[in-house]
A = this chain, B = another copy of it.
Amino acid sequence: MSHADLSLVDAYWRAANYLSAGQIYLMDNPLLTEPLAPEHIKPRLLGHWGTTPGLNFVYAHLNRVIRERDLEVLFVTGLGHGGPALLANTWLEGTYSETYPDVPRDGEGMRRLFRQFSFPGGVPSHVAPEVPGSIHEGGELGYSLAHAFGAAFDNPNLIVACVVGDGEAETGPLATSWHATKFLNPVRDGAVLPILHLNGYKIANPSLLARIPRDELDSLLRGYGYTPYYVEGDEPDAMHARMAEVLDQVVDEIARIKVRTDRPRWPMIVLRSPKGWTGPSEVDGVPVENTWRSHQVPLAGVRDNPDHLRQLEAWLRSYLPEELFDANGAPRPELSELVPDGTRRMGATPHANGGLLVRELKMPPIREHAVDVVKHGTTLSEPTRVLGRMLRDVITLNAGAADFRVFGPDETASNRLGAVFEVTGKQWQAETLPVDENLAHEGRVVEVLSEHLCQGMLEGYLLTGRHGLFNCYEAFIHIVDSMFNQHAKWLKTHQKLNWRRPIASLNYLLSSHVWRQDHNGFSHQDPGFIDHVMNKKAEVVRVYLPPDTNTLLQVADHCLRSRDYVNVIVAGKNDTPDWLSADEAALHCARGAGIWEWASNDEDEPDVVLACAGDAPTVEVLAATSLLRQHLPSLRVRVVNVVDLMRLQPDTEHPHGMPDREFDALFTTDRPVIFAYHGYPWLIHRLTYRRTNHRNLHVRGYKEEGTTTTPFDMLVLNDMDRYRLVIDVVDRVPGLGPKAARLRQLMQDQRTRHHAWIREHGEDLPEVRDWTWQ
């Protein structure tokens, strides 16, 4: 590196540091054209300086290497509140003003850039959807590397530079994400360049990785499979020289790796620099730079304390703003020499605005996979197994584009999606043995026993304009509750930003669900992910409970084609009656909820409504209906099935919600409704409490009972079995006479008989196990 080049990098860095500090403090006088006065200072000082200069340092150096080598780089800011840095850099390179013309690259623009930061109605202190070039939320920590690897998959020309904070590095999800190189294909995928920023401190503590001996850290990173390159120090010139040298080395090394077929040892950078670098070294007699005290606002009393104010002015002027910006406040032209061209600018890469790149997924005709249903509910199929065949064809049809992947924590086969392995493998670069099956250097399935990593990689993959599915046991999906939160909130903000184009939805397939606890104890089963999801904004979330194979295919087809949602599909893998033909399924799923006329005998005037949502509840409702028909043939029973849970809400609450008139038409205004639901029963009440007939609604569902038992016994223990539903009807429909009492007793006897049978035989009674609709 020539000396001239590095002084340009340094000038750029100083400019970014100036702009970062300015955002934290200034409401006015952005160019310090007059002496700093209290009225220029924001009333509430909110923001995070500590991590910022290191980020600015990395960004400036990346610009240099991108320009010199015409690289395509996506920047991921893993540490927390790094907002000022990315806002400063995108403003400097011009992408911010192109995205937000009301914040131009001049003095007035700079004033607005400063003022909006951490200000009501402005922008957050962390990197957020509002920041051009970002795919990664800086709120909850731990997911940067997973996002980076997800972004790199199937992007062979991309380098994802991922700054990992040393606080973030303590989180579990980040700690396991290092291992993702065991999946990354050096030729077909892009490169991830982790830059571990040993900034030294978190909010109030040193970080663990900054306080272990260098050889131990080195050993750890090599153990993760990387070759670490160290850039350590606090003297800017030496640090610039070292960083430039190291970046050239690692980019060379990545180029060498990109032609290999075995698992390489990827390079990474360890940047050890002072927290709050170039900020006030001491304030009020205590050290601030290079301590946790520089985490947020190093000088807190600027508005009231003249010493702090003077210290702030000196700090800001130390960057020599007059050398960096012209009289109008625009960055001086020489700074532009470091800025890459057009979409090579990290704030302008289309990979960070995946909607610009996303392609329509080619979908196979649903009919090709639909099961034949001659008579409702008399044949059985395994819904997810059939879906596996459809996903197989999705993979085949989109093989050329290579933009669809299935993620899962070692459960794809267990969830019976195994047909995908007819056409693809599980991507795997670690050692293989002859006994292995379905492992491949390139494959559309990624399996790792970390739901965090699955979720994070899929998010990264979607945000960069591709498609995917996360298949998971229902019980374990709560592991990513908070990751879902953050993605859903990202999507809500993203939807409001016109410059961000719609991306493919995040699709969950939850199988091996709560109604099958054959060998699990009462340990972790929980159908409450749905409850969790429904706390998020209606614009973003969708929940589907297809009752059989053909409805599952419809729902999956719809979800895979959709944009900007989180779709949750809950579907069983075990033999399930085929209730609906392909045509019926298409109609039923389009409606989202409806009367199953063929199962009802109410002739528009039901005595009772039996409603169901979910595969197991649907079987029980149909079986109960069948029992009622046999024992109380004159009782008029209506069967309602709900596929799209959001239909139950009022139309004022959710775009899928039903108007009251429609709800009343299905559920009546005055008849008892027995509702068998897949999850926690109170969710149905929450969705329907405003409806006319809510007082007559009686919901059965999972109430945290049952351990290590048969499928039917799970239903009995949670009072959702067919016999219990018949009892519910008998108890709620008036005027049934003595026949009803006898039926009630008969049902109770059946429950008792079942209980005794399974305790003796260890399996369900054949009559419930093999039941089909007659």
Contacts and interface: CB of A to CB of B under 8 A. Distances in A.
Interface stretch (A115-123, A566-574, A583-591): A115-123
Given A204-B410, A204-B414, 16 more contacts: A43-B761, A118-B519, A124-B522, A125-B520, A126-B523, A142-B172, A203-B410, A203-B414, A204-B447, A205-B447, A206-B431, A207-B449, A208-B448, A482-B526, A493-B707, A689-B689
B482 A479 contact: yes
21 contacts: A42-B762, A46-B518, A118-B708, A119-B762, A120-B762, A124-B521, A124-B523, A139-B475, A142-B172, A182-B208, A203-B413, A211-B430, A211-B431, A478-B532, A482-B524, A490-B523, A492-B522, A531-B531, A537-B704, A682-B686, A685-B686
Contacts of A707: 124, 493
Interface string A186-209: 000000000000000011111110
A523 B680 contact: no
A260 to B, nearest CB: 16
A176 B432 CA distance: 26
Max chain B C-beta neighbours (<10 A), residue from A172, A175, A220: A172
Contacts of A216: 222-223, 225
Contacts of A63: none
B44 A762 contact: yes
Contact of A522 (B432, B439, B489, B531): B489
Contacts of A118: 518-519, 708
A450 interface: yes
Contacts of A759: 120-121
A217 interface: yes
A709 interface: yes
A405 interface: no
A101 to B, nearest CB: 20
Interface of A: 27, 42-44, 46-48, 81, 118-126, 128, 130, 137-142, 167-168, 170-177, 179, 182, 202-208, 211-213, 216-225, 287, 290-291, 410-414, 426, 428, 430-433, 435-436, 439, 447-453, 475-476, 478-479, 481-482, 485-486, 489-490, 492-493, 518-524, 526, 528, 531-532, 535-537, 680, 682, 685-686, 689, 694, 704, 707-710, 713, 758-759, 761-763
Nearest to A763: B43
Among all A-B residue pairs, the 4 with the closest Cβ atoms: A220-B223, A124-B521, A139-B523, A172-B172
Contacts of A168: 449
A519 B124 contact: yes
B223 A519 contact: no
Nearest to A213: B431
Nearest to A222: B219
Contact of A138 (B291, B523, B761): B523
A731 to B, nearest CB: 16
A79 to B, nearest CB: 11
A728 to B, nearest CB: 16
Contacts of A141: 449
B120 A704 contact: no
Contact of A176 (B140, B172, B428, B763): B172
B520 A206 contact: no
Nearest to A123: B708
Contact of A140 (B44, B208, B476, B492): B476
A258 B217 CA distance: 24
A478 B479 contact: no
A685 B689 contact: yes
B139 A521 contact: yes
Nearest to A146: B172
Contacts of A412: 204
A485 to B, nearest CB: 5
Given A170-B176, A223-B219, A140 B202 contact: no
A21 to B, nearest CB: 15
Contact of A704 (B212, B536, B708): B536
A519 B295 CA distance: 14
A380 to B, nearest CB: 18
Contacts of A206: 428, 430-433, 436, 439
A171 B449 contact: yes
B140 A523 contact: yes
A213 B223 CA distance: 9
Max chain B C-beta neighbours (<10 A), residue from A120, A220, A528, A763: A120
A758 B42 CA distance: 12
Contacts of A449: 141, 167-168, 170-171, 202, 207
Given A537-B704, A686-B686, A426 B205 contact: yes
Nearest to A489: B522
Given A485-B478, A708-B118, A203 B411 contact: yes
Contacts of A523: 124, 126, 128, 137-140, 486, 489-490
Contacts of A119: 708, 762
Nearest to A529: B481
A46 B516 CA distance: 12
A713 B120 contact: yes
Max chain B C-beta neighbours (<10 A), residue from A44, A126, A489, A524: A524
A69 B137 CA distance: 53
Nearest to A451: B171
A519 B223 CA distance: 37
